[in-house]
Amino acid sequence: MLSVDKFSIDLADADTLAGFYLQQTSTDTRFLQMNTGAAILEAQSIDLGDLCVMRVSGNGKHLWTDNMVSHEWRFAVLAQAEGSPKIGDQDIAKTTAHLLRPGQSSDLLTNGYYTTLEISFSQDFAQNYGWDCLPHQTAEIDYSVSKALSQVANRMFSGFSLASTPRLATSDTWDAQAAILDLLDVALHPWQRPDFDQTRAHGSRTSGHIVQETWKLLADNDYVIDTSVSALAQEIGVSKRSMFQAFKNQYGVGPRRFHELLRLNALRSCLYYAADGGNSVTSLANEHGFSELGRMAGKYRALFGELPSTTLSRRPI
């Protein structure tokens, strides 16, 4: 049997979440909750030596921003998804695969229950295996390949003996790494086609650039600046229409609401990690630009399913 590591992470625990993704997939990951209710990430991971296979599940409108920080590649497909998930402003389906490589970053927006299958491996391993891939991040793969990857992963994570899986076996005992490699080799074919439509691959560059520049502007100013569409558009150097449309395309909300979600999520993280007796809800809320505490508490509870004082009281020891 293969050894399966299981994880359950409260997504208010930003440090644990960041450490988990850095260890498992070599990504610097940021999480933003955009809908009502508590958020828990469930994950299973198997180390196959040259490959790490992980299955991750969550539920809600969540924005995941990943930056690849080391010489690793990460291939991912959606095994299950409700709503209309997106990478950038591109709608994705079960046949949409994503490939993230060193120095690249991406946004995944979910909207309901989702499960992703992720396979990480070193850049040296990819080169030794002959995967000379084009730089675009997404491509459509054959549904049978996507389905087979999910079936193999299900078998691996099930905890049953792996000796009775024919067709994918190269000997009497099923080699899990060989099975994943065979399917991954086929799945990567679209990235190795010289005739791939680069216009389609980079179609969201303008929208993504506007969003990332705005996000950086907000972060550099601790999220406490004028966030009217006019002011942000002037700072970034685009039209108001382009600014608003970029956020609607990428995240389904306007820039003002996105800014509010950033501040609420940042406040939640600070409340969760506040030292005993060192901070109050009021002081932390004021630091994040919330002056009307009653209104803030209502929005906080609507988003996270609990009052700010509850988050403060369940901080980690």
Q: Structure pTM?
A: 0.82
36 and 131 co-located in one domain = yes
The predicted model gives 255-267 an average pLDDT of 89
Secondary structure of 242-301 as H, E, C letters = HHHHHHHHHHCCCHHHHHHHHHHHHHHHHHHHCCCCCCCHHHHHHHCCCCCHHHHHHHHH
- Who wins on pLDDT, 241 or 297? 297
Q: Which one of 178, 201, 224 terminates a domain?
A: 201
Mean pLDDT score across all residues of the chain:
84
Domain residue limits at 239: 205-313
Looking at residue 196, what is its pLDDT? 53
CATH number of the structural domain spanning residue 253 = 1.10.10.60
Neighbouring C-alpha atoms within 13 Å toward the C-beta of 145 = 20
Phi and psi at 121, nearest 5°, equal: -160, 160
pLDDT at 203 over 80: no
- Coarse DSSP helix, strand, coil percentages of the chain, rounded to the nearest 5 percent: 40, 25, 35
How does pLDDT run across 99-115, given as a tens digit for each residue? Answer: 999 999 999 999 999 99
Report the distance separating Cα 241 and Cα 238, nearest Å.
Answer: 8
Regarding whether 265 and 122 lie in a shared domain, the answer is no
The 10s digit of each residue's pLDDT in 282-314 is 989 988 888 889 999 999 999 999 999 998 887
Predicted local confidence at residue 298, as pLDDT = 92
Instruction: Say if residues 73 and 126 touch (Cβ distance below 8 Å).
Output: yes
User: Which pLDDT score, from 0 to 100, does residue 56 have?
Assistant: 96
pLDDT digits (tens, 9 = 90+) for 112-144: 999 999 999 999 999 888 888 888 899 999 999
What is the rounded CA–CA span in Å between residue 99 and residue 18?
20
Count of domains observed in the chain: 2
- Residue 245: pLDDT band (50, 70, 90) is confident
User: What local confidence, expressed as pLDDT, does residue 76 receive?
Assistant: 95
Residues 73 and 215 occupy one common structural domain = no
* Same domain assignment for residues 239 and 272: yes
